[in-house]
Amino acid sequence: FGDPDINVTVHYSANAQTAKITYIDDTTKTNLDSKEANGKFGQAITFEHDPAEVIKGLEEKGYVLVSNSFNKQTYDANNSNNVFYVHLKHGTSESSRKDDVNMTVHYVMDDGSKAPSDSKQTVSFTESGIQD
């Protein structure tokens, strides 16, 4: 009683955090790309390229989205929770094609005698399979 009031000033500074997103090709089991981002705890995670746009670009190249764990918008205090994976696979479809090739054999006799008539032949090629 009778002592003066005590004032305490606390300065808060958010911890630096990192985030990483990796795009994985499940068909070939390879990494297509990885990007990192830096920020502070509680801030929005912003990668250099928006993951939704990266996924859209990969889909335009024929990939199919399997899963996307980037559903978090802010940095977590634990950097291991700031790691995201986007899994894609190759888009495939059954394909077949047919092509006819024509060949004409024209005979010429060296001695000038009458040559056999031209021989016309057609060869048909058929191919079917999976187009990646």
pLDDT of residue 18: 96
Question: For the chain, what is the domain count?
Answer: 2
- Residue partners of 100: CB distance under 8 A and separation at least 6: 122, 123, 124, 125
50 and 99, same domain (yes or no): no
Instruction: Examine the domain organization and report whether 71 and 25 are in the same domain.
Output: yes
Q: Tell me, yes or no, whether 22 and 58 share the same domain.
A: yes
Name the pTM for this structure.
0.70
87 and 106 share a domain?
no
Domain that holds residue 100: 94-131
Return the pLDDT at 71. Answer: 86
- State whether 78 and 119 are in the same domain: no
Which residues of the chain are modeled with pLDDT < 50?
Answer: none
Say which CATH number the domain at 24 has.
3.10.20.470
- Hey, what's the torsion of the CAs at 30, 51, 67, 60, to 10 degrees? -70
